[in-house]
Amino acid sequence: MGNIFLLSVLCTIGIYIISGAAVTSCGDVTTNVPKELWTNWAMYSPYFAADKYESAPNGCQITQANILQRHGARYPTASAGERIMAAVAKLAAVQNYTDSSLDFLKNYTYPLSSDLLVPFGAAQSFSAGQEHFERYKSIVSEDQLPFVRASGSDRVIHSATNWTAGFSHASNHVYNPSLSVILSESDFANNTLDDNMCPDAGNSDEQTGTWLATYAPPIAARLNEQAPGANVSISDVYNLMTLCAFESVFINRESAFCNLFTQAEFEELEYYGDLDKYYNTGYGQELGPVQGVGYINELIARLTDEPVSDNTQTNHTLDASPETFPLGRAIYADFSHDNQMIAIYAAMGLFRQVTALNLTSPDTTRNWITSRLVPFSARMITEKLICTSGNVNQTEYVRIFVNDALQPLEFCGGDQHGLCTVDAFVTSQTYARNNGNGDFEKCFA
């Protein structure tokens, strides 16, 4: 698979919390996997910086950072795990393989749990907390600790608490933020960090199904030749390919399942993820972007230091209280899910595509690449800066990073440094400020 990439997080003292259990001595957490492989696992890719972070331009000072982060690497969901195990069982039931790459299955035991963070996922969040302290420590004080929220699933909550532990550890435990608000994920609960409030929204099944039927049949045919009688389907192909990712981030090395597929086939898996996100809560889904409106209106409130104005996903009770939605903080950290982050990107206007993603022929020049948009532990950071022009004029600006890649913000007149004024940014967000232009009501038609 090429050169081996070593992704390493060293924890000497801190605390990783996995499924509620604290581990105070975590040692090295590594994933030894070829980089060209794991960067094509779409939403199951480990976090990586899509570009090098750029410091504030000369004459500018960062005054606020709004961090939106996906949970760290996890086990498959319970339903996905069942589909994966069913696909593995087909291969494992074969008595004689015609290809030795399958011989490991003779003694294979499925090792994965479901839904929760894997240890590496906890480490990703801890590392992010360390990184964000180092980057933004100039705006941290005892009176200006990060305000932290999380959506209410265990993997998101534990990502948030590992982030706070990493932040504290990087400050030598001088600054110790805590998780202040957990937003319920019960059906139709008002939650700006989860995509659970649009029951009439469609999904991406048709689009991903078309692509699966395009790329997976030759792979299924090959596996059925290698494992006579297995009757591997094209859906099984997808499930086995994702097992490569899930098992690798659990065992911290390359899963044997990865060797059943080629590099080109993992690039096809990536495109499956691209279509999934684009047509599920992204631009290709009529009621996708509206699911990100509530967060954007909360972001506007924080940037402008004014109360939240929103009639979509926000919890009015929480957002009206300075205890649960304080204004005037220097750092906000919110922990969420990939589908919700995609909705937020689309509602804001990030990664807009000239044409919709083709269902059978990927555009190799596209910038809608899921592993670069929402890998495990993905983060979008909206910074507010004060910049001085001449000797006296000071203006507030916004710039946005997605996985450390500076966004051009063409929709609000971003300059060569990715800066647009706070006023221009707020003005540009008409879709959110207008509560989705009637789309939110369509969620309950």
- Report, as residue numbers or ranges, the catalytic residues: 71
Q: What element of type H or E holds 54? A: none
Strands annotated E in 94-164: 147-151
DSSP string, 261-316: S-HHHHHHHHHHHHHHHHHHTSTTSTTSGGGGHHHHHHHHHHHHT-----SSS--H
Distance between CA 416 and CA 58 in Å, rounded? 13
Angle at 247 between CA 242 and CA 252, to 5 degrees: 130
Distance between CA 373 and CA 123 in Å, rounded? 20
Distance between CA 355 and CA 79 in Å, rounded? 33
Distance between CA 369 and CA 405 in Å, rounded? 13
Distance between CA 125 and CA 371 in Å, rounded? 17
Contacts of residue 394, defined as CB under 8 A and 6 or more positions apart, other chains included, come to 386, 387, 388
Q: Strand pairing partners for 182?
A: 150
Picking from 200, 249, 251, 348, the residue whose alpha carbon sits closest to that of residue 45 is 249
Q: Report the interhelical angle of 205-215 vs 234-251 (nearest 10°).
A: 100
Contacts of residue 102, defined as CB under 8 A and 6 or more positions apart, other chains included, come to 91, 94, 226, 227, 260
